[in-house]
Amino acid sequence: MMKYSCRFCLILLIIIIVFCNLERLSESVKEFAGPPNKFMKDKIHKIQTEKQPFLHNRKLLVHGGCTNRDISISQSRDSTSGIPQYIVQIVNTCVSGCAPSQIHLHCAWFASARIVNPRTFKRLSYDDCLVNGGKPLKTSQIIRFTYSNSFMYPITFKSAKFC
């Protein structure tokens, strides 16, 4: 019996401590939420003026052109029976309107038991595959194809001609 009353007292004590801390926290929030003093106004002004160069630099990055990081390549396994199938998606994520062309990917000895349209994806030689027949890949354009093989090929960016 003594064991249960000690637990009850301990729980009650924890509840009281939490409640007191919440009350103290709400008082400090009220103090903080009061009218801004000179110190706070100076801090706000400093933050606003420091933001301006950052925003300016950010605009330069957006309008500066595209890089290999703007070409997204993803692969996933398709759940089918028989020879495994893999879905590949290649997307131009550049926001500056640049349409990179002559996109080449590392692809080892890429081969497929299923025919892949060579205008979409074509192995030119060992570890060199061409995307979209070398034509520009417009912003947000998705090149998607499926290939069949007993394993997934590592397909990564190799090179491209950027604007």
Same domain? 93 vs 53: no
Cα separation of 49 and 43, whole Å?
10
Three-state SS across 97-149?
CCCCEEEEEECCCCCCCCCCCCCCEEEEECCEEEEHHHCCCCCCCEEEEEEEC
Q: Both 156 and 77 in a single domain?
A: yes
- Same structural domain for residues 95 and 138? yes
pLDDT tens string 15-66: 666 554 545 444 444 444 455 555 555 545 554 444 444 434 343 344 458 8
Q: 51 and 78 share a domain?
A: no
- Residues 143 and 120: beta-carbon distance below 8 Å: yes
Are residues 54 and 87 both part of a single domain? no
Mean pLDDT computed over 145-151? 96
Banded model confidence at residue 92, pLDDT cuts 50, 70, 90: very high
The domain tally of the chain equals 2
Same domain, 10 and 86: no
Show the domain range for 10. 2-28+36-63
Q: What pLDDT, on a 0 to 100 scale, did the predictor assign at position 163?
A: 81
* Residues 106-142 pLDDT 10s: 999 999 999 999 999 999 999 999 999 999 999 999 9
Both 17 and 46 in one domain: the answer is yes
Residue 132's nearest CA partner among 151, 119, 142 is 119
